[in-house]
Amino acid sequence: MSGTVAVRVPTILRTYTGGESDVAVPIGEGATLADVVAALEAAFPGIAGRVVDDTGQLRRFVNVYVDDDDVRFAAGLQTPTPDGTKVSVIPAVAGG
């Protein structure tokens, strides 16, 4: 293990995290957002299927931020997530 990533969990996924709004998951060297999702699934079974669809892509109405950047502006699930990264998962259906 080479570090941890902090994940902000939206209300609708907190049933998986025992009500916790902030969780930390272990990640390895050269980890990406896909690895963070896998680590979340290992810790909280079922949660990954809510964030990614059957084809392994981020769901259409999920916004994921790695630190301050929307991963759609970066490399999506391949966005690097080094030790200490903060990931925020937010429903996209907001605003306007």
Partner 1 sequence: MTVTLPVATQAPAPSTSGSRADLGPATHLSCRECGAATALGPFYACTECFGPLEVAYDFGAVSRERIEAGPPSIWRYRDLLPVPARVAGIPNTDPGWTRLVRADRLARELGIETLWIKDDSGNPTHSFKDRVVAVALAAARELGFTVLACPSTGNLANAVAAAAARAGIRSFVFVPRDLEQQKIVTTAVYGTALVAVEGTYDDVNRLASELAGEHEDWAFVNVNVRPYYAEGSKTLGYEVSEQLGWRLPRQVVIPVASGAQLVKVDKAFRELTELGLVEGEPPRVFGAQAAGCSPVSAAFKAGHDVVRPVRPSTIAKSLAIGNPADGPYVLDVARRTDGAVEDVTDNEIVEGIRLLARTEGIFAETAGGVTVAVLAKLVREGLLDPGAETVVFNTGDGLKTLDAVSTVVGPVGTIAPTTDAFDALVPEVSAR
Q: Which residues of the chain form contacts with partner 1 (CB under 8 A)?
A: 8, 10-12, 15, 21, 50-51, 53, 59-63, 65, 68, 70, 72-73, 88, 90-96
CA dihedral 63, 69, 72, 76 (to 10 degrees): -90
**Shortest distance, CB of residue 91 to partner 1, whole angstroms?**
4
Closer residue to partner 1, CB minimum distance, 29 or 68: 68
- Residue with Cβ nearer partner 1 (1 or 93): 93
